[in-house]
Amino acid sequence: MRRSQINAIIEETVCLFATRGIALPPFADWSREEWEHQGRAALPIVQSRLGWDVAEWRKGRFRTDGLVLLTLRNMKRIGTSGYAEKLMLIRCDQRTPLHAHYAKTEDIINRGGGVLIVTLGAFPDGASEIQLCINGMKQVLTSGSELMLGPGESVTLVPGVFHAFRAQGGDVIGGEVSTFNDDVGDNQFVGDTKRFPTIEEDEPPRWLLVSDYDSHLGWI
């Protein structure tokens, strides 16, 4: 992806969140200069990998195979599974690839907009059925099921359950509440999919991505 494209995508996302009355944390609007000014006081944000993430699952096809995420919280405490929270903007007809997590349990929530369709793939140990929670209620589901989540609805996905989601009928503001989030080591994709895009630096970054911190912040 080009940096100019990433800058435009995040600007568009910030504007859309504002029209929906969604207030973002201060670090969501920091420029690179502000990150440098904050310096090591911002180290907990960097270490927790809070901030923006723009995914493009197929090169050059962000509008159909992309996703914008903002990690708001991500805490891991010794002896616990930790906790995390994300905001997502899933554009109409955008989709994610089929994937599972080795350790993370997550609630995927439709916070507003169109319909969020969650497709379930393979289950752990090759099971054909699994018990999951939809809107807080236990249901037995089969591999290949499609869940239609309207605004306010949610599904809890446990480790090893392959899933993909897409927006239909309008853009969806998605939420994710989960155990500790590790986007580097806890994703298992079907097919040759990279979690973070390769970036062509055709202009300076207006916002830093979580994948930029190590290479763009001199004080780390």
In the chain, the amino acid numbered 41 is: A
pLDDT, residue 80, reads 81
Contact predicate 202/28, CB 8 Å: no
pLDDT, residue 175, reads 98
What letter would DSSP give residue 159? Answer: T
pLDDT, residue 192, reads 82
Task: Using alpha carbons, select from 154, 117, 159 the residue that is nearest to residue 135.
Answer: 154
pLDDT, residue 131, reads 95
pLDDT, residue 194, reads 87
pLDDT, residue 44, reads 96
Contact predicate 93/166, CB 8 Å: yes
3-216 fold: Jelly Rolls (2.60.120)
**23-80 tens-digit pLDDT:** 999 999 999 999 999 999 999 999 999 999 999 999 999 999 999 999 999 998 877 8
**For the chain, domain boundaries:** 3-216
Residues of the chain with pLDDT under 50: none
